[in-house]
Amino acid sequence: MSAGITVLYATVSGKTKQFAQTVRERLLHAGVEAEVHNVARYSAARLRQNDTVLIFATNWGAGAPPPDAVEFCHSLEDPRLKLTHLKFAVFELSSRLKVKVGGCGLRIDAALRARGAKALLAVVTSDRRSYAPFEAWYAEIARALHVGAARRASAANPELESPVARLRK
C-alpha cells in the first residue's frame, strides 16, 4: 500500500491538472507525501495499491468523461475490482452551463462506492472559474486527513497559490 496520497486528474484543457497540482503542493508543504497522475496513465487496478486517492475530473460535452478518462472510468465499473480499503474524494469541474449536470466525477464516485471504497466526503461539482468551492472542499479534505497545517501553509506561502490564480496568468 502507498503511504502517501495519490492525486488523480481527468482533463480536457489542463485545468483539472492545475487543481491536482495545487493539492499536491499543499500536502507536500504540510509534510504529507503526495503524487499526481493523469488517469490516462493510471489503471483502476492500480488503486489497490493506494490507501487514499483524491480525484479531479472534468466533464466532456454533456457530462461524459473526457477522452483521457474513458478507459479509467470503464475499468472502475468492473465488479471484480474490490477497493474496500480505499478512501477517496472527488472534485468535479464543469462549465457554468453544465455545473448542475454532473458527469465524470459523479460516475467515478459511484463506481468507487460500488467497489467498496469509502468516500471522505460527497462529490463537489464546481464551475472551473470559481475558487471558493475548491477551498471549501480542500478544507474538508485537510480535516478528514488530519492535515490542518496544509491550509495554513497555503495561506502563508505565495508559491501555493490557487489553481484559479494560476489559470489567469
Domains of the chain: 5-168 (3.40.50.360)
pLDDT of 99 reads 45
The amino acid present at 21, given as its one-letter code, is Q
Under a CB-based contact definition with an 8 Å cutoff, are residues 54 and 86 in contact? no
pLDDT of 93 reads 86
Under a CB-based contact definition with an 8 Å cutoff, are residues 88 and 56 in contact? no
pLDDT of 101 reads 53
CB atoms within 10 A of CB 1: 9
Distances (CA, A) of 78 to 72, 103, 111, 112: 10, 18, 9, 10
The amino acid present at 22, given as its one-letter code, is T
pLDDT of 67 reads 87
Grouping H, G, I as helix, E, B as strand and the rest as coil, residue 91 is: strand
Q: Which three cell numbers mark 18?
A: 492545475
pLDDT of 141 reads 94
pLDDT of 140 reads 94
Helices 148-156 & 132-144 angle (0-180, nearest 10): 140
Per the confidence metrics, is the pTM higher than 0.85? no
- Mind listing the pLDDT tens digit of every residue in the chain (169 residues)? 556 899 999 988 888 899 999 999 999 999 999 999 999 999 999 999 999 999 999 877 666 788 888 999 999 999 999 999 999 999 998 765 554 555 788 889 999 999 999 999 999 988 777 789 999 999 999 999 988 644 444 444 445 555 545 444 4
- Cα(58)–Cα(19) distance, rounded to whole angstroms? 11
β-strand partners of 94: 127
pLDDT of 153 reads 44
- Cα(85)–Cα(137) distance, rounded to whole angstroms? 22
